[in-house]
Structures are given as structure tokens and as C-alpha cells.
Structure 1
Amino acid sequence: MTSLLEAMRLAGVAESEIARISASADPWTQAVNYLHSAFKNRELRPKLEALQLIEKYLRSNS
């Protein structure tokens, strides 16, 4: 989960959102839902490194 949260930081997610997600009962699902929505709505302008970290995390946990 730490790698996913770091990727969210690199992608420009606000620390308050990351804290809210981390404190939730199911942080993994919350993080994925948040990122999906943010990318879909173009709220984030992710850096290449963030996308690579997300991809690496998802591959290692599938």
C-alpha cells in the first residue's frame, strides 16, 4: 500500500486525500477508485514516474 500512496503523491494527489484514503476501512479500494475517477475526469496531471509506480505496484499485487 505504501508504494501506491507514494505514487499518488507523485501524481499530485493532495495530502488530505491521501490521509483520508489511508484511514479508510479499505484503503486499497479507496485509492484505486480515487485514481480511476481523477484520471477519468482529468483532475490529475500525473507524472510518468507516478504511472510507472502504479503499474509496478499493480503487477506485483495481481
Structure 2
Amino acid sequence: MYKNILQNIDNIAVWPVISFVIFFLFFLCLLWWVFTADRNVIDKLKNLPMEEGEKNSLSNAKPE
């Protein structure tokens, strides 16, 4: 049933191509960002979850 509906849509073959091009461009942009990103920014992002955990554990600690 769905196969017949999709076959009746004009220019249906162009949508998978558009989707692939969008994905490929996004992937290339991401690769470019990874190879050109500043190492300090990567280190800061890498340590971010640990810093958040330290802040939360210190704020939850009860003073003696």
C-alpha cells in the first residue's frame, strides 16, 4: 500500500539524495572542526564533566 503511494509522488528520488548531501556536509564540517580546533578548548571540554561534579559535591557538603 505505502509502496504505491510513494511511487505516485513526483520527484521522490531526489529526497534521499538531498538527505545524503546534508549528512555528508555535516560530517565534513565536523571533521574540519575536530582537526582545526584549539587543543586548549578540547582539554577544557574534556574536563568539564569532572569540574561540574566537583562543584556539585562541594555545594552539597554540610559544614561542620
Q: Same fold (TM over 0.5)?
A: no
The structure with the greater share of residues assigned to helix is 2
TM-score, length basis structure 2: 0.28
Query: If you compute each CA radius of gyration, which structure gives the higher value, 1 or 2?
Result: 2
TM-score, length basis structure 1: 0.29
